[in-house]
Amino acid sequence: MRESTIMKVHYGTALAAVALVAVHILMRLTMGYSESLEYENVLANYKFVPYAIMLELILILLSVHGFNGLRVILLELKQGKMYEKAVSYGCLAGMIGLIAYGSRTIIMTNMGMV
């Protein structure tokens, strides 16, 4: 992929994350923070489909942004053909892995599998 395309995605995910994380924080303000983290409330959040979709979106946005950011840091730290290939594919794998693991939690909880 062209670097400018990747960086457009990087800035886009950052902007979208600001908006969605703001909504996420506002939703959490509906109750005390410790209450938010009680077992029943956490389950209820995941079962409320629009909110679960939003959490999934935040997960994707920040995984893409965070792992691409890590790729940038690592590319600037050290150079070399093999190293750069490993960094790029490694970050892509991390990104996909994190999204898969997070999605699994969201989907399983949403479907009442825990």
Partner 1 sequence: MAQVSSMSDGQSSTMKSITLKISRFNPEHDESSQFMEFNVNYEKWTTVLEAILDVKKHFDHSVAVRYSCRQATCGSCGMIINGKPRLACFTKISELDSNVVTVEPMNNFPVIRDLAVKFERLFDTHQKIKPYLIRDDTELESDQKEFLQTPEEVEQYIQFANCIKCGLCNSACPTMATDSSFVGPQALAQAYRYVADSRDKGKDSRLKVIDDSHGIWRCHFAGSCSQVCPKGVDPAMGIQLLRGYMLGFRD
Q: Which residues bind partner 1 (CB under 8 A)?
A: 2-4, 6-8, 11, 72, 75-79, 84
Report CA-CA distances (Å) from 58 to 74, 92, 95, 102.
Answer: 24, 17, 13, 10
CB count in 10 Å sphere of residue 11? 10
Residue 65 or 87 having the CB closest to ligand HEM? 65
Report CA-CA distances (Å) from 3 to 15, 62, 71, 72.
Answer: 18, 19, 12, 11
Task: Decide: is 94 part of the binding site for ligand HEM (CB under 6 A).
Answer: no
Of partner 1, ligand HEM, none, which one does residue 2 interact with (CB within 5 to 8 Å by kind)?
A: partner 1
Pattern of binders to ligand HEM over 25-64, x per CB under 6 A? -------------------------------------x--
Reading the block at residue 98, the tokens are 């994190």
Q: Could you tell me which residues come within 8 angstroms of residue 73 by beta carbon, excluding any fewer than 6 positions away?
A: none
Q: Rule CB under 6 A: which residues touch ligand HEM?
A: 11, 14, 17-18, 21, 62, 65-66, 69-70, 72-73
